[in-house]
Structures are given as structure tokens and as C-alpha cells.
Structure 1
Amino acid sequence: MTGTPTADRRVFLKGVAGLGASAFLAGCAPKLGGMLTAADAHPENYPTVQAVRYMGDLLSQWTGGRLGIKIFAGGQLGSETDTLEITSFGGLDLTRVNFAPLNSIEPTTLPVCLPFIFNSVAHMRKVVDSDVGEEILASLEPHGLIGLCYYDSGARSFYNKRNPIRHPRDMAGLKLRVPPSDLYVAMINALGANAVPIPFGEIYQALTQGVIDGAENNWPTLVGERHYEAVSYFSLTEHLFTPEALVMSKASWDNLADDDRSLVRRAAKRSVVEMRRLWDLRVAEAKRVIAASDVKVNTVDKAPFAELMRPVWDRFIVTPTQKSLVDRIVAMGQG
């Protein structure tokens, strides 16, 4: 399936929704008893992909090979929006997604995506490991998804090829890629730049062809996706510490025995520890690569950027549940 044109892939994925996970497996790989399918837009060596593979190894060990995970990495099965949709229909068992596509289906997922709501990676991890995190994952079940765990996506900052960003005024006129999300678009526009929503896998080409001036993401993505080859400046706004989620199809979940559900949850939680270990190593390595490159890195005073986000928060945080979650998240970052 690798190399299938995008239009054909979308048609294929729509078909998968009607076939179910078993038929999908039969068409894509040798069917093994209890083999779950998983998708990820990141490449094979990315920490989220390795974490899901680690989860599959645990399941295989614990069940004598009865359960396991076959992962299709590198966007083989489409964009995150594609695989999320197919997972909700039961055509895939598992998918790792950024929270942006989740925002469009469940408002409770919005608070952890707000710019400048987290003050550090430690703050973000504390929140997602708490009852706040569990409540947000539980909100996905009515949409045909079981939230299993959170993975890191690091501190997201801006990189571009035109100029360093030290103040919001430096963003005027910049065409910056964002995930397909109203929240991300509103954030970029509020900062004075022009938001360009495009799929993750198209960023490098868009940078090299001049479709966009830059993007916003973390250290490992800047290096791992070779975006640093196409930009000149990396400005450490750290405007987002948005986590990512590993979700399972509720249809697949309902087909598991109670004991197997417990094993899947346990393996998912264990995979978080492994993912964070790999992630922290990846960040350190990415920083070394950038230090040896031609990319100029600069820190910023975050206050002027954060001040422009109040209207964005007010626009998207409207329900009592959302407001309560925001208050609890902010409180967990104080003291």
C-alpha cells in the first residue's frame, strides 16, 4: 500500500470502514490471531511509533503471542484525519493522533490544546497523568473511540526561512503551516501571521516550494522530518505543549474479552514510560543536530505572545466543562 496516490488512498480508506478490521488485515498482511492494526503518520524510528511497537511486544509477551500489534507508520494509511475516521468506524484498531483532529469531534479535548496553557513539559505530563487527563480521554467514547494514553509532542515553537521571531510583530505576513484545526488557525492569525492548514506529510515539500514560509513544531520534528534543511530560524516561543493520543476503535474494544481490555490498557500505560524515555533522548539529539547546522536559534519573551491569546481562549472555551478543565490545568501549573 505504500506509495498509493492520495486520492486513491482516500477511496481505499473509505472502503476499509465498511469492511471492518478483520477484512482489512486479511488484505494488508498475514492474519494472526489477535493481531491489532495501528497507524501513525510519523516514520518508523519516531518515539510514538516505537512506543506502540513496544506496547505490541508487551501484549505478545503477556499472551504468548495471542495478542500483538501490526503498525503502519509513515502515513502509509493516510493522514491523521483519515486514520482517525477509519478507526472510529472500526476499520483500524488503533491510531496515534495529534489532538487537532480530535478537537473537531469533541470539545472537551480543546483545553489541553490552548496556546500557553502549559508552562513546561513537566506541567503537561502532570496534567495528562491526572484525573483531568482521564476525563478528557473518556470523552472520546461517544465518538467510537477509546482513549488509551497520552504521548508527548514536545514544546512547539516557530521555525521559518525569512526572519527570527522575537516579538509578535515579527510574524506579520509570514505564511505558517498549521494542522487542520480552527484553534491553530485562530492562534496564528491572532499573532499576525497567515495560517496555512496542510497535512503533516506535506510540510517539507511546501517549505521547499515556497508554499509556506515556515511552520511550528518541536525539536525532533524539525530534525526528523528534515524541515531544518529548508528554514533558517527557530524561535523558541514554546507556545504549545499539546499532547498526542493513542486511541482505539470502540468496535475493536468491544470485541475484546474483559481480561484482554485490561492488558491493552496496562500495555498502553507502560508504553508511555518508554515513549517519554525515547522522546527525551530524541530532543537532546535534535538539539545537537541543530547546534551544528546553519539554523539560528533564539529565545523569546513569551508574555507579548501570551497576551494575544486571551481572545482565542474566550472563543473556544465556552462550556462549563471546558472552563472547569482550564481552571484545573492552570492551577496544576502554579506553585
Structure 2
Amino acid sequence: MSFASKGMVGLAAAAVMACFASGALAQNATERNIRLGHGIAAEHPLGQASVKFAEIMDRLSGGKFKIKVFPATQLGSETQMIAAVRGGVQEITIVASAPVATIIKEYMLFDLPFLFQNEKEVDAVLDGKLGQRLLDLAESKNMIGLCYWENGFRQVTNSKRPVASMDDMSGLKLRVMQNPVYIDAFKALGTNAIPMPFTELYSAMESKAIDAQENPVPIIYASKFHEVQKYLSLTNHAYAPYVVLVSKGFWDKLDAKEKEQLKTGCYEGRTYQRNLNRKMTTELIDKLKSEGMTVSTIPPAEAAKMRDKLKPVIERYTQDIGPSVVEQAQKEIAAVRGR
């Protein structure tokens, strides 16, 4: 073989090796190691569904998306995780809408009391045009709003007495989120509304520094509030979604197929998580009764009194949220009620 021929063979071999190397690099480049953090116990429907979401993404991506779930504020509070996602330090977080509202005011829509009456209305708004409009606002904050999961309708618990009317709330020292809508709403209902981080709540109720709190039933059970609270009142005073947020820095590294896989996975996880949350809510109310809680409901006439009392609060915060956002929500809800 001539020197020239040997040179050609060498070049061909080098080219083949380069192709294998570049293929290996491309394969490695598509492996996505993802940290997903949330603030709730692993046994909560959010915790269970987050693990399910990791399995869904593993299937959809052929093993390329490797999601590690960090429950129960292991990566920080919800506010801290939002900041980490915005800064590109964390890839995904699933957080309640209330802390999102501190940086995107339109999310205060979900804090308005008695906006929704049932899950059918909720799903129509969250999965419709307004829901997408709000998700799109996350991009200006260096995040991608992927979809909504369910936190659920919020209920009141306390250690003093059954609550079946607005008068029964009078004077209760009730912990609320550090959120102006909730503070003003519960003050209007006659409670001594005290803003406090969730992480401090159990010990405050145990020491009797706080009489009452409000959260969805699965959180009440998962957080063992029934150990320090005797009474549960099914007020359904507000509905809170979880928002699945992705770091824009991470999102921009994905190709079109990967982005579509992530959206599809979010929707599959949403269906699983909503169904689980709603099933568990019904079951957990019975379980809380068996654990010794007294469960009360609010008669329609009393709920109407509460809504009337809260009208000034709703009108005030409608201006902060944006009248067009609230109007669109009301129209979408009215369309469901009119069917």
C-alpha cells in the first residue's frame, strides 16, 4: 500500500472515530438531570404525583429525562425554590399559586374568596384561555409556566369550637399565609388573622399561640394538624392550584421534541394528581373523623353572608389583579354554570 493510500485509510478511520465520538457526545448531551422540588410531604398527592411525573418523563423521553424529586422543602421554602428556578440553580418546582402572586400579581386571582364553587369550574379556567394567559406571564420572570396541578379547596380548622357560621369565626387567632388577600379576607370575617410561615404553624398550634388555620384537607392530614386541632369546617372558601414552573435557562437548552415531551408529561401528571387529590380528599375527611376531629359544613345561607361580607375585599384586590383578568375568569366560570 502506498503512503498516500495509507494516509487515506487513516483519515477514513479518524472520520469514523469522530462520528462515533460525536454520536456519544450527542447522546450524553440529551440526558437531562433535573431537580424537582416542592414543599409538601412525600405521601401527599403532590408528593406521590411528583414521583409519578418522574416516571412519566422517563417513559416519554426514553430514559433521557432523569428527574430527582426533593419533597418537603428539602431545597428550601416555596419562595426560595421560585428564586432558584428563576436563577437557573433548580430546574423545576411545583408551588402554590400564592407565592407566585408575590412576583406575578395576576396570580392573586386564585386568592379571591369564593371565586369557584366546584372542580368543574376550576378545570375550565385553569385548562382554558385564562389559565394559559397566566402561565405565559412567567416567562418575563425567567420561568416557563408548564401547567397547573391541584392544591384544592381550602378549609378551616381550629382548637376552640365547631365553625358553622361567620359568627363562629369571631375572635379566632387564625394563621394565614403571608398574603394580603387572605389577611384582609379573614379580618373581614371577624378573625384575628395572623400571617405566619407554614413551617412554624404546627408548633404555634401545639403551644396554643394560634387557634386556627386554613388549608386543603390533604395538607391538613399530611401535616398531622388533627393532632393539635379538634374541629374541621368545610368552608370551601378558596381554591388554590399548584403551578409547575421550569427554569427558562434550562428550557432554552431543550430541543423542540424535548419541550413537547415535558409539556405532555406535565399534562399526564396533572390528570393523575388531580384524580388522586380529589379521591384522597373524600377519603381523608372520613379518616380525620375517625381520628377524632369534629367535621362541620357551612349552610348555603351562611356562605352567602360570608360572600357579602367579603365583597369589599374582592373589589379592592380586583384592581390590583387587573379587572380584565377577573372579568375573564368570571365569564369563563359563568359559561360553565350556564351549561
Please say which of residues 282-291 and 257-266 is displaced more in the overlay. 282-291
Partner of 1:328: 331
Please say which of residues 318-327 and 112-121 is displaced more in the overlay. 318-327
- Secondary structure of the residue aligned to 2:116 is coil
Partner of 1:41: 39
Distance 1:172 1:210, change over 3 A: same
TM-score by length of 2: 0.85
State the shift of 1:150 in Å. Answer: 0.9
Q: Equivalent of 1:176, from 174, 177, 184?
A: 174
Partner of 1:309: 310
Q: Within 2, Cα distance between the matches of 1:236 and 1:64?
A: 44
Q: Equivalent of 1:88, from 63, 86, 89?
A: 86
Give 2:337's aligned amino acid.
Answer: Q
Is the 8 Å Cα contact of residues 176 and 196 (structure 2) preserved in structure 1? yes
Give 1:303's aligned amino acid.
Answer: A
Distance 1:316 1:118, change over 3 A: same
Q: Equivalent of 1:64, from 46, 62, 65?
A: 62
Q: Within 2, Cα distance between the matches of 1:51 and 1:146?
A: 20
Partner of 1:12: none
Q: Within 1, Cα distance between the matches of 2:51 and 2:99?
A: 23
List aligned pairs for 1:277-316, cutoff 5 A: 277-301=275-299, 302-316=303-317
Q: Equivalent of 2:49, from 51, 58, 61?
A: 51
Q: Aligned residues: percent identity?
A: 29
Please say which of residues 297-306 and 266-275 is displaced more in the overlay. 297-306
List aligned pairs for 1:1-335, cutoff 5 A: 33-301=31-299, 302-318=303-319, 319-335=322-338
- Secondary structure of the residue aligned to 2:152 is coil
State the shift of 1:73 in Å. Answer: 0.4
Q: Within 2, Cα distance between the matches of 1:116 and 1:86?
A: 32
Q: Within 2, Cα distance between the matches of 1:313 and 1:332?
A: 21
TM-score by length of 1: 0.86
- Secondary structure of the residue aligned to 1:42 is coil
Of Structure 1 and Structure 2, the greater helix share is in 2
State the shift of 1:94 in Å. Answer: 0.7
State the shift of 1:261 in Å. Answer: 0.8
Note the aligned Cα RMSD (angstroms).
1.8
Q: Within 1, Cα distance between the matches of 2:324 and 2:66?
A: 36
Where structure 2 has 5 or more consecutive residues not aligned to the other structure, the ranges are: 1-29
Can you list the C-alpha shifts for 1:44-88, whole angstroms capped at 9, x where unaligned? 122112222222212212222211211110111221111111111
State the shift of 1:199 in Å. Answer: 2.0
Distance 1:326 1:294, change over 3 A: same
Is the 8 Å Cα contact of residues 43 and 222 (structure 2) preserved in structure 1? no
Where structure 1 has 5 or more consecutive residues not aligned to the other structure, the ranges are: 1-31
Please say which of residues 207-216 and 46-55 is displaced more in the overlay. 46-55
Distance 1:333 1:205, change over 3 A: farther
Q: Within 2, Cα distance between the matches of 1:326 and 1:184?
A: 19
Q: Within 2, Cα distance between the matches of 1:130 and 1:207?
A: 39
- Secondary structure of the residue aligned to 1:239 is coil
Can you list the C-alpha shifts for 1:246-273, whole angstroms capped at 9, x where unaligned? 1111111112112111111110011011
Give 1:82's aligned amino acid.
Answer: Q
Can you list the C-alpha shifts for 1:112-165, whole angstroms capped at 9, x where unaligned? 321100001222122211112111111111111211111111221111001122
Give 1:294's aligned amino acid.
Answer: G
Give 2:81's aligned amino acid.
Answer: T
Give 1:313's aligned amino acid.
Answer: I
Q: Within 2, Cα distance between the matches of 1:58 and 1:166?
A: 42
- Secondary structure of the residue aligned to 1:162 is coil
- Secondary structure of the residue aligned to 1:70 is strand
Please say which of residues 321-330 and 258-267 is displaced more in the overlay. 321-330
Is the 8 Å Cα contact of residues 148 and 270 (structure 2) preserved in structure 1? yes
Can you list the C-alpha shifts for 1:26-54, whole angstroms capped at 9, x where unaligned? xxxxxx93111111111112211222222
Moved over 6 A (4+): none
Is the 8 Å Cα contact of residues 149 and 270 (structure 2) preserved in structure 1? yes
Q: Within 2, Cα distance between the matches of 1:180 and 1:225?
A: 19
State the shift of 1:288 in Å. Answer: 2.1
Give 2:235's aligned amino acid.
Answer: T
- Secondary structure of the residue aligned to 1:308 is helix
Q: Within 1, Cα distance between the matches of 2:176 and 2:328?
A: 24
Partner of 2:19: none
